[in-house]
Structure 1
């Protein structure tokens, strides 16, 4: 029931994004710097833009970036875990690659990759996707190694089944719960990393009001008493991440009850 409620929340959030566009946050200088009120629950900014609408649009941009980054990272984790199961040479290569990536500070590596790809949404997605796969790969690799030694997999190999067939029929069905849970738990991390690098000025450009960009812009007005510019977007970001993270924990309890108890 809890999972359905959380999924319903995400569905409603995605439906809201359909009806929001850039025209809904056009500048209106006659209503600039207004504190929260019934007409503007999150107040307005220095250009008179409604912060409630701007926050939802910004969170929607962060949501899309997080989705694609988490999908890319999950796909890379699946690819490298299967590659590691093919041969000991590939296994050593993947293990060494994981150690290299985990030895570099994550945020620093994300910023470097964003620079390498020229920034923007594509650069942010690639940077987050290319840096969040190692831990998931370790878990998937361990699961594949366990399945690989199962009798039915050994029998399939002796019957002449191709490695592709074994991967499709034996490995993937076993990995689907881990992939789903891993993606759900990775998604909020991707959203937070996008917000962090955008806040630092290395992520999305200012014309795309992601949550990190909104929070970064609000800092120069925060000391002047316009607290609502940072407070409400920050709270909504934290609430969104908590909800998605809770969904991931519930999926862990659903698919891996023994691990959740331990």
Structure 2
């Protein structure tokens, strides 16, 4: 039993979660065409063997639409989390290594972004860019970097007191050059964990602003669109239109959250023995 304790069990679970998320992403792409097919002869069918998640008011298969929507959410989450992490990394390095003026500028920017209600800023950015895919990606990318940037800044400030960093500075290396070359290897674990933990936030906010009508267009089978459209039919007893997409969105978000926690614990082996 000890063989499966600790680190090995964590790695097995991590591989399982990543495989499930990859399977959902690939399956959503495979069902992309099926999600748009309408057939009024099968409209408003409850869950059955041929349609496990039922069909909607246009006869579209909800299983295909749910998988396609989740696949889109995961891809948007990956893209926006990567952009936000890169933005946070560069600003964190810049703030902590380029002097008090640069630090004050970045800290002020972080406080400004964090001082505005998150969903409001996201909606404003998305609306200003014409909504759609571009508005959602830019909006999420520009509003999810602050916490990670503050963490990176703190790590760099600590690393600046290390002896090898002081030696590099005395040898003539610039502040940002020293941070980029000598501190980055020590920041990779924080960046990796931050990247994974940004996924669930990005996915939820994409679904939220799409649900509110400020995100992806209604022609796309996105989870936010599906949930928004299903609201008017819940009173008619069409519970499956919202239940399955909503439940699977929660499952995907939890998988990302658990994956992030496991990556963090694997990066800190001592945590496995707590």
TM-score range, shorter chain: over 0.9
1:213 aligns with 2:228: no
Matches within 5 A, 1:68-79: 68-79=79-90
**TM-score of the superposed pair, with normalisation by structure 1:** 0.95
Q: Which residue of 2 aligns with 1:166?
A: 178
- Give 1:261 deviation, angstroms: 8.1
- Give 1:197 deviation, angstroms: 0.6
1:192 aligns with 2:204: yes
Listed one character per residue, the Cα deviations across residues 40-64 of structure 1 (whole Å, up to 9, x for unaligned) are 0000000000000000001111112
Contact 2:25 2:74 in 1 (8 A): no
Contact 2:25 2:75 in 1 (8 A): no
Q: Which residue of 2 aligns with 1:56?
A: 67
Q: Distance in 2 between matches of 1:142 and 1:261?
A: 26
Q: Distance in 2 between matches of 1:253 and 1:90?
A: 33
Matched residue count: 262
Distance 1:140 1:260, change over 3 A: farther
Listed one character per residue, the Cα deviations across residues 185-234 of structure 1 (whole Å, up to 9, x for unaligned) are 11110000010111111111101121011000000011000000000000
Q: Which runs of 5+ in 2 are unaligned?
A: 1-11
Q: Which residue of 1 aligns with 2:247?
A: 235
Q: Distance in 2 between matches of 1:124 and 1:98?
A: 20
Q: Which of 5, 14, 17 in structure 1 is aligned with 2:28?
A: 17
1:127 aligns with 2:139: yes
SS in 2 for 1:146: helix
Contact 1:252 1:260 in 2 (8 A): no
Contact 2:227 2:242 in 1 (8 A): yes
- Give 1:18 deviation, angstroms: 3.7
1:253 aligns with 2:265: yes
1:82 aligns with 2:93: yes
Q: Distance in 2 between matches of 1:184 and 1:109?
A: 22
Contact 2:24 2:70 in 1 (8 A): no
Q: Distance in 2 between matches of 1:72 and 1:113?
A: 16
Contact 1:102 1:134 in 2 (8 A): yes
1:5 aligns with 2:39: no
- Give 1:165 deviation, angstroms: 4.2
- Give 1:106 deviation, angstroms: 0.2
Contact 1:31 1:44 in 2 (8 A): yes
- Give 1:75 deviation, angstroms: 1.1
- Give 1:260 deviation, angstroms: 8.2
SS in 1 for 2:220: coil
Q: Distance in 1 between matches of 2:78 and 2:91?
A: 20
Q: Which residue of 2 aligns with 1:155?
A: 167
Q: Distance in 2 between matches of 1:208 and 1:87?
A: 47
Q: More deviation in 165-174 or 221-230?
A: 165-174
Q: More deviation in 244-253 or 17-26?
A: 17-26
Q: Which runs of 5+ in 1 are unaligned?
A: none
Q: Distance in 1 between matches of 2:178 and 2:131?
A: 39
**TM-score of the superposed pair, with normalisation by structure 2:** 0.91
